[in-house]
Amino acid sequence: MPVLKTITSEKLPIKLWLDDIAGETLTQAKNLANLPFAFRHIALMPDAHQGYGMPIGGVLATEGMVIPNAVGVDIGCGMGVVQTSLSEVSSARLKLIMAAIRKKIPLGFKHHQRPQDARLMPAMAVDRSEMPVIAAEYHKALHQLGTLGGGNHFIEIQGGDDGHIWLMVHSGSRNLGFKVANHYNHLAQKMNRRAGEPIAPSWQLAFFPADSLAGVKYWREMLYSVEFAAANRQLMMSKIKETLAAEIPGVTFAPMINIAHNYAALEEHFGKKVIVHRKGATRALIGEIGIIPGSQGTPSYLVRGLGNPESFKSCAHGAGRKMGRKQAQRQLNLEQEKSRLDEQGIMHAVRSVSDLDEAAGAYKDIDQVINNQLDLVEVLVKLRPLAVIKA
């Protein structure tokens, strides 16, 4: 299926792989389309929904400018997945495995009591003094390495329609990326005020030239945060594999697929070098493997990119919210959401009303999200959740 809809009322077209955009999400997309340095068009993936400044599920290409809020506060957030040699795991073993994982991997706001091995941290391309936020947060980051976080982050054990058991992790750069994002967004706001506010502050899209001193520093610290997030997922996956191997001797593991969906990158599109901001969007070059997770209790998908230029070679990063967190807690029925998971035999994390913000009912239909982007990716493996860990 091609682009579902194109909005042409703004300075640049807005191309939609969804047909249910409205409200603040549409307003944010229109703001992007009217940026003086935006390139070609704006692309909204089928999981798009309201974010801070820029919709989550959005792809923006710019000429020479970088926007911290178009990357987001969880820089480098992404997915990790591993195929195992197992074809099944009993419920009894799953319970033991999940309990052991919870002991090894801190969840929510919890960090490791002791710093992790610094050799597991990404190497620095420049002296630490050239990355002031990273330098200030480095010691704390050693305690955050290998931790899950909260919100929509999760660990799942899944059954694939390829006959294998899979392991999946969704997490990001923890407080390190958050500090980087906020520091440079505030710096960009100050620079824009001094320049006479080239765009409305209410848009929450403060920017700076990528080749400015601030732009160069943000770029370095953003890339380091992306690498830290990947290392974070790598360490957690190592702990999960260790746990599985201790419980089921002889199990083997394929190499980990480890991808980000919150970052900016210098790429060539439509014959021009541009800065592509993917905020809740997965790169989907021709043949590139991607991961599109569902919500708690719904399938996830391993996909292969088709390199569609109209999406700036991108695809969705997940199911996408259809309800805000507080709205979900107010409107969803706890017993119905629990029953939906229990009937599927899924070991889940929905226990109380406060957990409803991450229930399946708060998210879009993942199968519709996949169907809306069959011109962006092809499905390789459908992964059904067996057990879920959330904060």
User: Given its phi and psi angles, is residue 23 left (phi above 0), alpha (psi -120 to 50 degrees) or beta?
Assistant: left
59 burial (CB, 10 Å; 0-12 / 13-18 / 19+) is buried
Strands 300-305, 377-389: pairing is antiparallel
Residue 116 φ then ψ, to 5° = -80, 170
The C-alpha atoms of residue 257 and residue 80 are separated, in whole angstroms, by 6
Residue pair 22/35 in contact (Cβ under 8 Å)? The answer is no
What are the boundaries of each domain within the chain? 5-322+363-389
For this structure, is 348 an active site residue? no
pTM of this prediction?
Answer: 0.95
d(CA 34, CA 31): 5
**Whether the predicted pLDDT of 46 surpasses 70:** yes
User: Any idea which residue has 């017993």 for tokens?
Assistant: 335
The single residue of 41, 277, 317, 348 carrying the catalytic annotation is 317
Q: Rounded to whole angstroms, what are the CA distances from 83 to 185, 233, 243?
A: 38, 15, 15
- The answer to whether residues 278 and 213 touch, using CB atoms and an 8 Å cutoff, is no
Domain 5-322+363-389 has CATH 3.40.1030.10: no
The string of pLDDT tens digits covering residues 69-115 is: 999 999 999 999 999 999 999 999 999 999 999 999 999 999 999 99
Which tens digits make up the pLDDT trace of 192-237?
A: 999 998 899 999 999 999 999 999 999 999 999 999 999 999 999 9
Condensed to tens digits (0 to 9), the pLDDT of residues 307-354 reads 999 999 999 999 988 888 899 899 988 888 888 888 888 888 788 888
